[in-house]
Amino acid sequence: MTQVHPDIAEIVISEEEIQDKISELAKQITEDYRDKDLLLVGVLKGAFVFMSDIARQVQLPLEFDFMAVSSYGSATKSSGVVRILKDLDYEITDRHVLLVEDIIDSGLTISYLLRYLEARRPASLQICSLFWKKGEQAVPLDVKYPGFEIPPVFVVGYGLDYAEKYRNLPYIGILKPEAYGGKAP
Ligand code: IMP
Ligand code: MG
Contacts of 161 (CB under 8 A, 6+ apart): 45, 46, 167
Residue among 152, 46, 144 nearest 101 (CA): 46
Whether residue 76 has pLDDT greater than 70? no
Please give the distance of CA 69 from its chain centroid, rounded to a whole number.
12
Question: In a mutational test of the pocket of ligand 1, which residue from 105, 106, 150 has the highest number of ligand atoms less than 8 Å from its CB?
Answer: 105
pLDDT exceeds cutoff 60 at 7: yes
Residue pLDDT, tens place only, 21-57: 999 999 999 999 999 999 999 999 999 999 999 999 9
> What value does the mean pLDDT take over residues 126-135?
94
Active site residues: 105
Q: Which residues are close to ligand 2, an ion, with C-beta < 5 A?
A: 43, 46, 102
Angle between helices 15-32 and 48-55 (to 10 degrees): 60
Using a 10 angstrom Cβ sphere, with 0-12 exposed, 13-18 middle and 19 or more buried, the burial of residue 173 is: buried
- Taking the centre of ligand 1 as the mean of its atom positions, its distance from the CA of residue 102, in whole angstroms, is 8
Instruction: Compare 5 and 72 and report the one with higher pLDDT.
Output: 5
Statement: the pTM of the whole predicted model exceeds 0.85: yes
φ and ψ at residue 27, rounded to 5 degrees: -65, -45
Whole-angstrom distance, CA of residue 59 vs CA of residue 4: 32
